[in-house]
């Protein structure tokens, strides 16, 4: 896939994966996580980037302007993020749930897991606040 092409988001909508987000520049959080494949349920190590209300993932950590994300989860679609060691019986695991799906991730350590949960949680709160403020201003 070439940069600028439309890709399928995790919610089936065709969209520009970057949508103007400079995911290569000063991310809010970035690092390696294990993620289950969407169709083949094997665990794969991917480089994740949280930036401007979107979670992107890539095959490797050398992310640049021309990089094309393997996928994107809009934070505005996220309902909860929490530890999931018991749910999938793996250490350092956490889950991110949306109306449509639940995604499981495995971090390299408990600290990494907590840092991701906190960073995404803050982003969820920021997005919900901005929606609420806009709704109030519309009246």
Q: Are 29 and 52 in contact (CB under 8 A)?
A: no
The values of phi and psi at residue 64, to 5°, are -135, 180
The larger pLDDT score, comparing residue 70 to residue 1, is at 70
Residue listed under structure tokens 């993020």: 81
Write the pLDDT tens digit of every residue in 52-108. Answer: 999 999 999 999 999 999 999 999 999 999 999 999 999 999 999 998 899 999 999
User: pTM, whole model, 2 decimals?
Assistant: 0.80
pLDDT tens digits along 27-54: 999 999 999 887 888 999 999 999 999 9
Is pLDDT at 127 greater than 70 in this prediction?
yes
Instruction: State the CATH architecture for 7-138.
Output: Roll (2.30)
Domain ranges across the chain? 7-138
pLDDT of residue 1: 37
């Amino acid at each position: 896939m070439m940069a600028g092409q439309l890709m399928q988001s995790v919610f089936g909508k065709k969209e520009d994966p970057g949508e103007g987000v400079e995911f290569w520049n000063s991310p809010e959080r970035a690092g390696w996580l294990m993620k289950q494949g969407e169709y083949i349920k094997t665990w794969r190590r991917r480089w994740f980037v949280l930036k401007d209300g979107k979670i992107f993932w890539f095959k490797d950590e050398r992310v640049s302007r021309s990089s094309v994300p393997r996928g994107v989860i809009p934070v505005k679609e996220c309902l909860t993020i929490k530890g999931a060691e018991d749910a999938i019986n793996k250490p350092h695991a956490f889950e991110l749930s949306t109306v449509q799906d639940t995604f499981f991730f495995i971090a390299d350590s408990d600290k990494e897991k907590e840092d991701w949960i906190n960073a995404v949680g803050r982003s969820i709160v920021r997005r919900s606040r901005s929606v609420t403020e806009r709704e109030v201003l519309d009246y």
